[in-house]
Amino acid sequence: MSAGPNRFVRCLAVGLVAAALSTSALALDTVKFMAPGSVGGGYDQTARVLGKALIEAGAAKSATFENKGGAGGTLGLAQFANSTKGDPNALLVVGAIMVAGIEQNKPQITLKDVTPIARLFTEYNVIAVRKESPYKTLDDLIKDFKANPPSITWGGGSKGSIDHIGIAELAGKLDVPVNKVNYIATGGGGEIVAQTLGGQIKVLTGGYAELGQYIKNGQIRVLAIGAPERVPGIDAPTLKESGYDVVIGNWRGVYGAGGLTAEQRKEVTDAVLAASKSKVWQDNIRTNAWTESVLTGDDFGKFVDEEHVRLRAMLVKVGLL
């Protein structure tokens, strides 16, 4: 007789453990990604790779993606914050460009309205030209830029983006006045490549991942990379080793919805960390020449606060604020 209730308790315990294991393995249901930039751009690419990685890691069932560019990513941020409160299945891709966008546009909704989850990697900018360009080396380009600054059209992401700040900073090191820099802001991704291949933009700057296929097939030639040291897989000198003490890079990470409980935040963070260890994620780290730089939770939030201070100072220095 007594074995019956005990057996029931044991079965119940086993059932609860199994349920707990299955929910931790599949912490998220359908993850709804907001990529606050154009399709094919850096935010979009990060979202789609992370979506695949979450599914491969068994941390999510499926993923959907929405793109909303504009105002340095702050339009996508506003839509995300307003529509996802308390939803653990929502993720927003963020980066240094968005921090600069917030500093410039002073939107009502900021990163304080959503929940820091994790910084994932840093992507350093390449400085590149189309294959028909007369510029074979960075020195060739710099010579013309110093002699006649407005004759060089630089293309990159939105005004005040890391791309723009980086070129303005490089100009400063060359004693070229910021107001003489002929910078063409684009939506990034395919748009900047089309304008470069078409010759409207003489020099482009952006993350390697967005340009990788064009670099590999020889349509675009890399003159330099804005990394602290050479990046495996990119055959180009750093700006530093070329004599210009400038680092141009954009970190990327994810925020969750506002109003998450501590338990939900932990589940989302654990899911993202599991995804970052998956094969598909690690393969993309190598292919895209991303530099892993994982930071989670409040440490990530603190880092973003410091980025606001750093980027605000840079925007002032280069005359954009």
Whether 36 contacts 10, CB under 8 Å: no
Strand partners, 65: 33
- Better-scored residue on pLDDT, 20 or 306: 306
Query: Tell me, what's the pLDDT at 21?
Result: 41
Q: What percent of the chain has pLDDT over 70?
A: 91
- β-pair type (153-156, 203-207): parallel
Q: Which of 66, 203, 186 lies closest to 144 in space, CA to CA?
A: 203
Amino acid of residue 234: I
Helix 74-84 to helix 96-105 angle (10° resolution) is 90
Query: Tell me, what's the pLDDT at 6?
Result: 53
Mean pLDDT of 180-195: 85
Report the distance separating Cα 249 and Cα 205, nearest Å: 11
| pLDDT exceeds cutoff 70 at 135 | yes
| pLDDT exceeds cutoff 90 at 311 | yes
Report the distance separating Cα 252 and Cα 250, nearest Å: 7
29-123+249-317 shares its CATH topology with 124-225: yes
Q: What is the largest CA-CA distance in the chain?
A: 97
| pLDDT exceeds cutoff 90 at 14 | no
Mean pLDDT of 28-33: 95
What's the pLDDT tens digit per position in 204-238?
999 888 888 899 999 999 999 999 999 888 889 99
Query: Tell me, what's the pLDDT at 126?
Result: 95
Query: Tell me, what's the pLDDT at 189?
Result: 66
Top-tier CATH class for 29-123+249-317: alpha beta
Mean pLDDT of 126-136: 96
Q: Which of 154, 160, 205, 141 lies closest to 181 in space, CA to CA?
A: 154
Q: Which residues contact 237 (CB under 8 A, 6 or more apart)?
A: 138, 224, 225, 230
Domains of the chain by residue range: 29-123+249-317, 124-225
| pLDDT exceeds cutoff 80 at 23 | no
Query: Tell me, what's the pLDDT at 2?
Result: 46
Mean pLDDT of 177-184: 93
Report the distance separating Cα 119 and Cα 96, nearest Å: 11
Question: 124-225 has which CATH code?
Answer: 3.40.190.10
Tokens of 256: 């969750």
The lowest-confidence range among 12-26, 118-132, 271-285, 304-318 is 12-26
3-class DSSP state for residue 5? helix
Tokens of 136: 């074979």
Amino acid of residue 229: E
Query: Tell me, what's the pLDDT at 26?
Result: 65
What's the pLDDT tens digit per position in 234-289?
889 999 999 999 999 999 999 999 999 999 999 999 999 999 999 999 999 998 88
Over the chain, what is the mean pLDDT? Answer: 90
Mean pLDDT of 97-103: 93
